[in-house]
Structure 1
Amino acid sequence: MSSVTAHDTAGAKPRTTGGPTAQAPASAHPRLSRRHREWVAAGLFLAPDALGLLVFVAIPMVLSVVLSLFQVSGFGSYQWVGLGNYDRMFHDPLFWQSMKITGIYVVVLVPVLFCLSLALGLLVKQKLPGVGAYRTALFLPYVISLVVVGVLWKFMLDDQVGVVNKAMRAAGFGGASWLGSPGLALASVIAVMTWVMMGYYMIIFLAGLQEIPQEYYEAARIDGASAWRSFRSITWPLLRPTSFFVLLMSTVAAITGGLDLLFVLTKGGPANGTSLAIFYIYQQAFTFGEYGYASAMGTFLVLIMVVFAGVIFKVTKGGRFDDGE
């Protein structure tokens, strides 16, 4: 009897019950951890922008560098010239004249735009009546097409019928040829570009100013600090990351932007007085069909912008908050 019982017990299959001690079978596909899910979500959000940068920025830049090694005509013929386009660029006086004008343009435009945008940001930060309307009015030129802005200002700066010269004559001053004199034409382009861009950078400075805790200013006020002292010791150091962004973006915009505005206002004249490097590259590519030569100059201009970005990064210490180091 005992042997049969032992045999039956040994051959019986184990039984499972549905009680609380039962364990569900492990899944063949374990769930991702929270950190991995965050990485996947971040990748999905970044993928469209990364794809756009790859297709519309990275690949064209590589193709431009490759194209700079060829002599390309407007009829689609390619001839390998190696570094010939770069040698031509370094011996082209018109290119270096355009680089000189670009240097003057950047050196004047960027500091003026930076200081004016910061001043406007500080002004519209104040809780004044109707300040929202002022913010909108100052930002409005940025959302208008540069072609429309160029047509508007070309009419306003006209020698005979322009409202600027009419206002000057009414005030007892003689009119000026704002777009007909090389020096005045470049100054006029800088003034118009400042008018267009200052509202955008004002909003960026305003966002940075609003991130500074008000407790710092209250403590400084209790200690008897003046407004200038509070700005120098609190606002300016804590605004360094925003200043880095504004300096970098305004420099890049000054070097590569404003082609349509320049084309409408002066077309690079008079006497090539407003022929910036970007406009000269445009002329070589789309007026004379020198696509390989234009690509070489464009590649050189990108390297110049990389150097400028490195200098700005070094001067502002990468936008960090540390001061005096």
Structure 2
Amino acid sequence: MKHTKGRGRFIFFCLSPAIALFVIFLIIPTIDVFRMSLYKWGGYTDDKTFVGMQNFSKLFQSDKFYQAMQNSILLIVIVSIITFAFALLFASMLTREKLIGQNFYRVVFYIPNILSVVVISAIFSAIYDPNNGLLNAFLNLFQGAGSEPILWLGDQKIVIFSLAGAMIWQAIGYYMVMYMASMANIPESLYESADLEGASRTQQFFTITIPLIWTNIRTTLTFFIISTINMSFLFVTAMTGGGPDGATEVILNYMYKEAYTNSSYGYGMAIGVVVFLFSFALAAVLNAVTKREHLEF
């Protein structure tokens, strides 16, 4: 009995600092966001006015909110699908194929993940430059030097896709490493048996690899949602500022401007509540849809 109590105290003292930090820096601020969303407040004075649900009513009548939400959802879909596909493909190639310099490729793919968003934004802003950028220079090889330059960050129709390109480049290496770690644990004997049965590499990928790393895939799908919402704010701030004409305004960027630029802190917190509920609901739906029986080997 004494041993059990002593072990319980040890676990309690080990977990207490982490729990305290979690409550202080996550739980309490989250509750405060919900509380402040019910007030009209500029953020810099003590003059607060309780307005109930008026901030939410104003929010759902705002065209800017719907545009920002639409841009955020579009980025979530584009970035998640393309990053997921390429990360799986590269992870499979570097795990199963006998390539020369595999470790070199792993490092190269992972480098974008350790770079600052500001650095990546500067790199892609230079690539997208309409006059001296690498992308237009490459296209001119096929179109001719006198062709009209494409405004990758200035055309409302394509700027969101240009932004997505930078985000995908930054994220692929991280998820590739996660998938490689899971694939490395799959016994080679399963693939050898499939070879003997005449299964192609593509069939092996979808019938062996995908099912056996499905738990990891489900986890990363949630990461895709959260990271895309967070990273889109950083990339938009560094590359476009929400322009041109709101074409890249994402929900967190809109929240920041309302709360800290337009001195509508309560309204900004209402946007934060919607983002929180949207992220939580989308992650829950994805987990429910992708739930399947766990496979063991």
Q: Same fold (TM over 0.5)?
A: yes
| Equivalent residue, structure 2, for 1:6 | none
Match among 138, 160, 181 for residue 109 of structure 2: 138
Q: Where does the alignment leave 5 or more consecutive residues of structure 1 unmatched?
A: 1-29
Q: Measure how far apart 1:127 and its partner are.
A: 3.4
In the alignment, the residues of structure 1 paired with residue 103 and residue 85 of structure 2 have an alpha-carbon distance, to the nearest angstrom, of 21
| Equivalent residue, structure 2, for 1:254 | 228
Verify: 1:153 aligned to 2:127, yes or no: no
Distance 1:230 1:40, change over 3 A: farther
Show the 5 A alignment for 1:35-74: 37=7, 42-74=11-43
Match among 87, 101, 113 for residue 117 of structure 1: 87
Q: Measure how far apart 1:187 and its partner are.
A: 0.5
Larger RCO, structures 1/2 (Cα 8 Å, 6+ apart): 2
Q: Secondary structure of the equivalent of 2:158?
A: helix
Distance 1:246 1:94, change over 3 A: same
Q: Measure how far apart 1:50 and its partner are.
A: 2.9
User: Which has the larger Rg?
Assistant: 1
Which deviations, in whole Å up to 9, do the C-alpha atoms of 1:60-104 show, x marking residues without a partner? 110100010111114322111111111111111110111111121
Match among 165, 171, 176 for residue 197 of structure 1: 171
Q: Which amino acid letter does the alignment assign opposite residue 84 of structure 2?
A: F
In the alignment, the residues of structure 1 paired with residue 12 and residue 193 of structure 2 have an alpha-carbon distance, to the nearest angstrom, of 43
Match among 263, 270, 287 for residue 289 of structure 1: 263
Q: Which amino acid letter does the alignment assign opposite residue 72 of structure 1?
A: W
| Equivalent residue, structure 1, for 2:182 | 208
Show the 5 A alignment for 1:85-104: 85-104=55-74
Q: Measure how far apart 1:322 and its partner are.
A: 5.1
Q: Which amino acid letter does the alignment assign opposite residue 215 of structure 2?
A: P
State the identity %. Answer: 26
Q: Measure how far apart 1:32 and its partner are.
A: 0.9
Q: Measure how far apart 1:162 and its partner are.
A: 1.5
Q: Is the 8 A contact 1:64 1:295 kept in 2?
A: yes
Q: Where does the alignment leave 5 or more consecutive residues of structure 2 unmatched?
A: none
Show the 5 A alignment for 1:267-286: 267-286=241-260
Q: Which amino acid letter does the alignment assign opposite residue 69 of structure 1?
A: L
Q: Is the 8 A contact 1:240 1:320 kept in 2?
A: no
Verify: 1:242 aligned to 2:216, yes or no: yes
In the alignment, the residues of structure 2 paired with residue 202 and residue 44 of structure 1 have an alpha-carbon distance, to the nearest angstrom, of 37
Which deviations, in whole Å up to 9, do the C-alpha atoms of 1:265-304 show, x marking residues without a partner? 1100101000011111111112111110010111011111
Q: Secondary structure of the equivalent of 2:294?
A: coil
In the alignment, the residues of structure 2 paired with residue 218 and residue 244 of structure 1 have an alpha-carbon distance, to the nearest angstrom, of 27
Verify: 1:321 aligned to 2:272, yes or no: no
Distance 1:85 1:225, change over 3 A: same
